[in-house]
Structure 1
Amino acid sequence: MQSTREIKRRISSVENTQKITRAMEMVAAAKLRRAQDRLERARPYEDAMRKSILRVINQLHGESHPLMEKNDTGEPCYLIVAADRGLCGGYNVNVVREANEHMEKEGVSSPRIISVGKRVRDFYKKRNYEVVSEYLDMPDNPTIEEAKKIAEPAMELFFNGEINELIIVYNEFQNALTQVPVARKLLPMEKDVIITEKDTEEELDIEEQLYAFEPSIEAILGEFLERYVENIVLLALLESKTSEHGARMTAMGNATNNADEMIEDLTKTYNRARQASITQEILEIVNGAEALE
């Protein structure tokens, strides 16, 4: 059995660790509240922009845009958004698994990778994937400027024919306990890519609506599509950051609770060891007294 000194040292170590996990849980909870507020403001904007693009596309009569056209050159590219740090449960593992499963399902053997976060970069570089660009130390409050830095080079790769598809993979925030990894096709921006399961038949039945476009429908469509790609990247960054804070809060909360259980078990062990030590001392005193008699 361990000595009482060793057990007390272990209890002290677990208590110190618990202080850290509890502090991290509180910090993550505070960040989560702010991130949720930003995410709730961003989602309606993306939805309204998507429906506006649908209205423009429904007025096209043979016209198109390079972002909507398929090409047979280049390889698929995966824009994968995860965290720079760990200690957030299965957050990083789940998004990488989702990307790998999508590659396997689509039969993609040599994709190009755009990584957001150190964990994604390290994972794919160790496995000799082609990481064409990496974006590290993303702020807790991503802005459209960060989204543009990621989206514009990706669109340039598509324009130049270096990639033939762009798939964005990230964790979609449901609640603090649930973050769902999703793989979403971003380019080429075909109509079925823009339509989602949430669209009703009434919302899609807009063929008869007529609009006057100035300067031209092609110019407006091009501007819309580029802004929309940037907006989806921004939304993915916000979803990922919110999911990261939720996952870290949950993971640190579980770690704090586990530390409580460990302290309780160690305290019981300490009391048993102390009781055994006292009993042994009493026996030694009694035996000594009997020997003197």
Structure 2
Amino acid sequence: MLSRGDLTDGEWALLEPLLPVGNNRCGRWRDHRQVINGIIHRLGTGVQWRELPERFGPWKTVHKRHLLWSADGTWERLLRHVQSEADAEGGIDWNINVDSTVARAHQHAAGAPRSAAPAEPFKRGTPKASAAAVAHGDAARPPGGGGAPGEALGRSRGGLTTKIHIAAEGHCRPLSLLITPGQRADCTQFERVMDKIHVPRAGRGRPRRTPDSVSADKAYSNRKIRAYLRKRGIRHAIPEKRDHKAARLRRGSRGGRPPGFDKDRYRDRNTVERAINKLKQFRAVATRYDKRGYVYLGTVTAAALLIWLRS
């Protein structure tokens, strides 16, 4: 299981050079490997922080480290580094697929302060959550209440939910992630998901942002998305909606040509669904327990990092 077990020696050797080596408060950190193993345990089990086994050290240390790394982008930097290593070895299939999934929010996820600015992850000696971290959520207040603005909590038929939008490469691993309230339409987040694809080169050169092709279901079938892909020169396999096809045919020659559609390429769209299944092996992802949006995004990103390390 991807969600079980401590870091192996090989996984730790890859991550260790990228981790912070000092602390503003006391000049040193508690063993990073022990703390990350505690975070992995919580990711896989969904256990409350204060119920972490003693072998991971003080639960507050593990909790605060996760808050800090979610706020300052450490989890995202680690994920991009692992993606860069895989790309340098030719291990990324750049025929990507886009989709989303809804995670039910536990009652503990509600009740974050309704302040315009994010609260500090913890008190002295640590930076506030960056504006970019909060921007990963959605700044709109969810209809019907249920969460503070910017916390990516919304009300849908399932109650309080958060939606995870994901672009996955051909080996069922997440390339980019973002979260919104659960009622947000998939198509409105397509460009944001694509713009977050950012795989650094191992040597010189700009990070790779453009896939070879994109596949998505009918939820992403509209003119704006097709124009976006056409402008960037990206081939796509997105089926045309039935009502769109009927409207085009009614207009005759003025309706334009039907969009191209590769059925064989579309069959590979299941890779994003399998990537979602891998993410939801982590109980702390499948059910949202985190109050703050940036912290839950850090939880999802840490789970994606483990998928890359263990796939």
Normalised by the length of structure 1, the TM-score is: 0.26
Which structure: larger Rg?
Answer: 1
Larger RCO, structure (CA 8 Å, separation 6 or more): 1
Normalised by the length of structure 2, the TM-score is: 0.25
